[in-house]
Amino acid sequence: MRLLFIGDVIGRAGREVVAERLPGLIGTLRLDFVVLNAENAAAGFGLTRKIAEELFALGVDCVTTGNHWLDQREILTFIDADDRILRPANLPQGTPGRGAGLFQARDGGQVLVVSPMGRVFMEPQDDPFAAVARELSACPLGEGADAIIVDMHAEASSEKMAMGHFCDGRVSLVVGSHCHVPTADAQILPGGTAYQGDAGACADYDSVIGMEKHEPLQRFTTRMPGGRFVPASGPATLCAVFVETGVGGLATRIEPVRLGGRLKQAMPET
């Protein structure tokens, strides 16, 4: 199975590069399933119904989120009705929406997506490792699912790495989101799970993690807010991770994808 995970989409520039590049990637890489983190898609904060529908129309099969999942309160009107949109899996019981879902891929296989959120340097939540363990126990790789993708939305690289090793041999891909910078550690772990610490963002990289530079610089240099954060609007780079699986759903290949914008380009050979 051929899988693509697209990193945090930030504002209009991020959405535009996804719209420009994703349809071609689906054909060129012969993708069976596409996951995209959209917690920053609506002006940098949260997700609206309109934007979700636009992403699904482009070929996205599942949307994950993170700590900004509730920034657009509108999401409460549709998250329960659309199982393709996941909020963090380790939120308290009774929180609207769901943190994992089982989906049918283009090749007919079943893909489990789990969306935990880290606790280190972030607001305290329930245990992400226990939340993932519950989902993997209920739907094991090779039995309930033909592929499993875990989007570890976390600040600390150590917590993301720990999740990779925790899941090694039990999932197809553990990939980090939230930090908005693509890491250079794409690898297949000893047990056969593909791992990358952070997929990066779909954003204008002439920015501070996707936001126009002035306001973050002012806050860092003066400790005084001058206004709200606004997504940078220049040419964006699409950052993603491509994974191919083999027998039993474990990874046989992982490669970064970077297209457009300022970053050095990277495209898997087909």
Widest CA span of the chain, in angstroms? 55
Q: Look at the block and give the residue holding tokens 């890491």.
A: 183
The identity of residue 90, as a single letter, is N
214 catalytic per annotation: no
- E strand or H helix at 153: strand 147-153
Q: Look at the block and give the residue holding tokens 């990193």.
A: 7
Among 50, 91, 101, 53, residue whose Cα is nearest residue 69: 91
Q: Are 147 and 109 in contact (CB under 8 A)?
A: yes
The C-alpha torsion from 199 through 78 and 210 to 266, rounded to 10°, is: 30
Among 37, 17, 3, residue whose Cα is nearest residue 199: 37
Q: Are 56 and 167 in contact (CB under 8 A)?
A: no
C-beta neighbour count of 175 within 10 angstroms: 31
Active site residue ranges: 68
